[in-house]
Amino acid sequence: MKAEAVVFTDVRQVRFMEVEVPAPGPEDVCVELEYSWISNGTESSFLYGDRILGDTVTRPGDKLPFPQVAGYQKVGIVRSVGERVTDLKPGDRVFASISKVDEMFFETGGHLNPSITHRSEVWKLPEGANPVAYSALVLTQVGYNCGIRPAVAEGDVAVVIGDGLVGQWAAQTLAHRGADVTVLGRHNRRLAMLPPHIRTWNLRERPLAEWLGTRGDFAVVVDSVGSLETFGELMPAMKRNGHFVSAGFYGTAGTIDIQYLRAQEITLHCPAGWEKARMDATLAGIRDGWLQTTPLITHRLPAREAEKAWRMIMDKSEFFLGIVLDWR
């Protein structure tokens, strides 16, 4: 069976091309795509050869995982369902995560149309929903997971390192839980996308020490970008029994001194991946409006122009944040 896909063929090499996908099985859902959302950080690390699987860092001698169908998140219309799928039908609008593909390094991928996806990786969208709002459901769930991990009391001070997508959704989640949130970023335009009740600080324009002063009231620190250096500066300002949520990709520089955390009895959280309960809760947060996704979209490109989208990401030739591929 033929499908169209965004394929990483080698380091920094992207093609929109035809691929082979297996025939749908009895527990599969065939989805005709409307939109897929690029995961800038995770997909880039695969494209650059920095990771070989999940959160596994590339080490000397590792075989790089090319070719691969990039991504892991999209929305579309159900075309058909397997005989054991009883709760979905053709015409339903759904979110799908990883889908099956043949003749690639990995047996699954994201930016793939049509998508043959196991029922366990498909979520039906609310009736009348704007589908593009749910097209980053997995990545939104990553930010949500960062925001629900730590214990939070009303008014607790929380700091999020990073103004990217995960940082945005982690901040939204913490604020929804009652925290007083500040996002430390490096891009005024990204920081301006945060809801107005979330504070911001641009580290490119003003030093962190100026904002820190003599503070010692941080209950939560979330690192969404993999900056242990910034966490090290923040840690002395954390309250005893605080929480550090580590969600960035550190490559080979991710060593944390547990003894250092113990002095302040800081709890370390290491969120990763996705699972049904969190996906369900994230979908509900988008539906109810407190998790905002569409305001973060800066680019919508036809799927056939995926190479152009990735060239922009690699070259940083213009401002971007949320990048959606349109498959219609």
Q: What is the pLDDT of residues 108-130, one digit of tens each?
A: 999 999 999 999 999 999 999 99
For residue 259, is it within any domain? yes
Residue 215 sits in the same domain as residue 321: no
Residue 13 sits in the same domain as residue 58: yes
Residue 95 sits in the same domain as residue 221: no
For residue 279, is it within any domain? no
Domain that holds residue 64: 2-136+293-326
In this prediction the pTM is: 0.95
Kindly report the CATH number assigned to the domain that includes residue 233.
Answer: 3.40.50.720
For residue 278, is it within any domain? no
Residue 64 sits in the same domain as residue 109: yes
For residue 281, is it within any domain? no
Distance CA 328, CA 316 (A): 27
Distance CA 81, CA 263 (A): 55
Residue 147 sits in the same domain as residue 27: no
Distance CA 325, CA 306 (A): 7
Exposure class string for 249-270: b at 16+ Cβ within 10 A, else e:
bbeeeeeeeeeebeeeebeebe
Residue 21 sits in the same domain as residue 99: yes
Distance CA 147, CA 170 (A): 5
Contact (CB, 8 A) for 183 and 198: yes
Q: Is the peptide bond before 236 cis (omega within 30 degrees of 0)?
A: no
Distance of CA 307 to the CA centre of its chain: 20
Ranges of residues in the chain with a pLDDT under 50 are none
pLDDT of residue 250: 74
Contact (CB, 8 A) for 216 and 240: no
Residue 207 sits in the same domain as residue 261: yes
For residue 68, is it within any domain? yes
pLDDT of residue 56: 83
pLDDT of residue 162: 97
Residue 213 sits in the same domain as residue 182: yes
pLDDT of residue 254: 72
Asked which of 254, 269, 284 is the last residue of a domain, the reply is 269
For residue 306, is it within any domain? yes
- Token readout for 53 is 């699987």
Residue 33 sits in the same domain as residue 18: yes
Asked which of 269, 284, 312 is the last residue of a domain, the reply is 269
pLDDT of residue 48: 94
Distance CA 218, CA 203 (A): 18
Residue 7 sits in the same domain as residue 96: yes
pLDDT of residue 233: 96
For residue 280, is it within any domain? no
Exposure class string for 66-102: b at 16+ Cβ within 10 A, else e:
bbbbbbbbbbbbbebbbeebeebeeebbbbbbbbbbe
pLDDT of residue 258: 87
Kindly report the CATH number assigned to the domain that includes residue 51.
Answer: 3.90.180.10
pLDDT of residue 72: 97
Total count of domains within the chain: 2
pLDDT of residue 55: 75
pLDDT of residue 81: 98
Within 10 A of 213 (CB to CB), how many other CB atoms are there? 8
For residue 284, is it within any domain? no
